[in-house]
């Protein structure tokens, strides 16, 4: 029993070292981003917006909400799948015919780097800005943006 356990442990370590980590971390990061879609709600907002543009405002309030919820749950499930299977090949995105591999946003909102001490160098004079609550539509209040 003890020999089997040490053999399996050695096999797992060799497999982990032989597989490399660049693709694994990319797949895990993509999975984390997709899993956070439930809280980010970018897919939901984009689907409601696109349904409103193509099918009208009444469809956006009914069909768009249901379709947005479905796409959000699909992206969250794909994120969970990619996080769990990160060390296992293949490392390419899955279900790309239904969902884009990266996060999506509504066409009316384009995120950028937040203005703050991490990305901006103007904090030495005491000014900083950024989004107050970017997930809520219409709450864009950015002061002292330098990007």
pLDDT of residue 139: 57
Q: In which region does residue 29 sit, left (phi positive, over 0), alpha (psi from -120 to 50) or beta (all else)?
A: alpha
Cα(98)–Cα(74) distance, rounded to whole angstroms?
9
CA angle at 138 for the pair 52 and 79, rounded to the nearest 5°:
70
pLDDT of residue 132: 57
**For residue 59, how many other CB atoms are within 10 A of its CB?**
16
Mean pLDDT lowest among 14-18, 36-40, 46-50, 77-81: 14-18
Kindly list the domain boundaries of the chain, sorted by start residue: 19-106, 111-147
pLDDT > 70 in the chain, percent? 69
Helices and strands counted in the chain (H then E): 6, 0
pLDDT tens for each residue of 43-67: 999 999 999 999 999 999 999 999 9
pLDDT of residue 131: 53
pTM recorded for the entire structure: 0.65
Cα(24)–Cα(9) distance, rounded to whole angstroms?
20
């Amino acid at each position: 029993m003890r020999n089997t356990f040490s053999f399996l442990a050695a096999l797992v370590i060799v497999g982990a070292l032989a597989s490399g980590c660049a693709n694994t971390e990319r797949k895990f990061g993509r999975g984390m981003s997709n899993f956070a879609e439930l809280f980010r709600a970018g897919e939901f907002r984009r689907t409601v917006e696109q349904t409103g543009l193509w099918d009208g405002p009444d469809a956006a309030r009914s069909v768009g909400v249901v379709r947005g919820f479905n796409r959000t749950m699909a992206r969250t499930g794909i994120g969970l799948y990619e996080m769990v299977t990160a060390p296992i090949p293949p490392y390419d995105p899955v279900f790309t015919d239904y969902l884009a591999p990266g996060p999506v946003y509504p066409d009316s909102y384009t995120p950028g780097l937040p203005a703050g001490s991490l990305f901006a160098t103007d904090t030495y004079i005491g000014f900083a800005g950024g989004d107050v609550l970017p997930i809520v539509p219409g709450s864009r209040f950015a002061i002292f943006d330098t990007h």
